[in-house]
Amino acid sequence: MSTQSDLVLTIFTLNVWGIAFVSKDRSQRIEAIATALSSGRYDVVCLQEVWVVDDYEKIKHATRSVLPYSHYFYSGVTGSGLCIFSRWPIEDIMFHQWPVNGYVHKIFHGDWFGGKGVGLCHISTNGIHINIYTTHLHAQYDAHDDEYLAHRAVQAFDTAQFIRLTADGAHLSVLAGDLNTHPGNLCHQLIQHCAQLEDTFHKQPAENQTGTFDCSRNSYAVKSNVMKNPNGERIDYILYRAGLNAQVDVLEYSMPLQSRVPEQEFSYSDHEGIAATIRVTPQSPEISMPSCYIKDRGAIAATLKAGITTCADALNKLAHDKVWYLGVAGSLLVSLFSIPAFTEIPVTYSRTYQLTLVGTSGVIFFTMVMATIWNRMEYNGILGGQMRMQVVLDRVTDAYDTVDIEKTSMTTGSSNTLTQPFIES
């Protein structure tokens, strides 16, 4: 679907909700998704929550004639759940695993076991270079008490930095995936501002504001949530940025899947799939900085400050958690040594005492690990993210002087190339 000078491609993304033994109708839905993707409508497909590798293989086999190139990003215990399918050869692959990603003991949340991160596949066709990124940020399990906000903020910022630092050689860079954040929220702003991405959703008609999760058209949506907000939540995105030598235009944004799997009463997933058709037109290297690089410096700074504050709050909470865990461990240790020292255990209760001793020892071990090893790992992960945000904030704050110098150089005919990542017109 390309001409000699430009390329038109359609990108599709979907969180397939593929948790083994948990996700409803998984096998039937995976088959339906594979059938839909084998239609040849899409040039690039990004999937999330493909937790069962056999499901990836099924989709790969079904789409081999139209999407012959693919990659599954293995990571963590269960795999990252991320995979990319492409009509064109995948030339390079990279995966960045985030330093913080939930808690190992919260088994029912499960994010930690996936070793989540952001995946990159570099594609090239007819001399046009495309970077495709896919990711799935940590879920928000409680909107009123979001214990994972700092984790998600670090993930969002690291994703933005990963994109910004690897996108320079591409005519087009696209991030497609489940960001688990609403438009305008902190994590959304960190990604969009810091990576300088545009949202393909803006091509959608203004009257159509249907979200991608918990919306009325989805059979798995929570009825009480639909009653409050029939449009649901928009947490899945296709974001993009043009390269220095390309003109990029969004031609269409859509939800291409039907509300129900054909001849079934259920949807393809608990999320809605979205697609965007984009035209890439190569330009002369001498053109000016593309519009996606020109951002409001104040908005970027405000977003970074909010991220830094979120990290600071999390670090303070970690300090309190460490004291709490040590207090619990210390109290239990004192109890263990005090009971046999001051109380004679009747023979009839010796088995109960032994079981209590084992259970209490297990709790002491857990609290000590949480107060030391795990606390330090989480602290370092969030502190590192905070420090990286501060470096970028300092650079943004000082951007005016740099831009003034570069503008002067360009006016006087200097050959220096304008490459500052954060500027304003």
pLDDT tens digits along 75-111: 988 889 999 999 999 999 999 999 998 888 887 788 8
Residue with tokens 């330090």: 376
Arithmetic mean of pLDDT, 169-179 = 96
Distance CA 408, CA 327 (A): 61
Tell me if 190 sits within 8 A of 153, measured CB to CB: yes
Strand blocks (E) in 160-284: 172-178, 198-199, 236-242, 246-254, 274-282
Q: What is the pLDDT of residue 324?
A: 93
Burial class from Cβ neighbours inside 10 Å (0-12, 13-18, 19+) for residue 320 reads exposed
What's this model's pTM, rounded to 2 decimal places? 0.83
171 classed as catalytic: no
Angle between the 149-166 and 297-342 helix axes, to the nearest 10 degrees? 140
Flag whether pLDDT at 193 surpasses 60. yes
Q: What is the pLDDT of residue 80?
A: 92
Confidence band of 342 (pLDDT split at 50, 70, 90): low
Residues near 156 by beta carbon (within 8 Å), at least 6 away in sequence: 137, 179, 181, 186, 187, 188, 190, 191, 307
Q: Which residue in the list 109, 193, 271, 320 is annotated as catalytic?
A: 271
Flag whether pLDDT at 361 surpasses 50. yes
Distance CA 335, CA 358 (A): 13
pLDDT in tens, 391-421: 889 888 876 445 545 554 544 444 433 334 4
More confident residue, 407 or 50: 50
In 3D space, the residue among 332, 393, 389 whose CA is nearest the CA of residue 358 turns out to be 332
Token pair of 89 as six digits: 């050869």
Element (H, E) at 300: helix 297-342
Could you tell me the CA-to-CA distances from 405 to 153, 310, 398 in Å, in that order?
Answer: 33, 34, 12
Among the listed ranges 18-22, 107-111, 192-196, 371-375, which one has the minimum average pLDDT value? 107-111
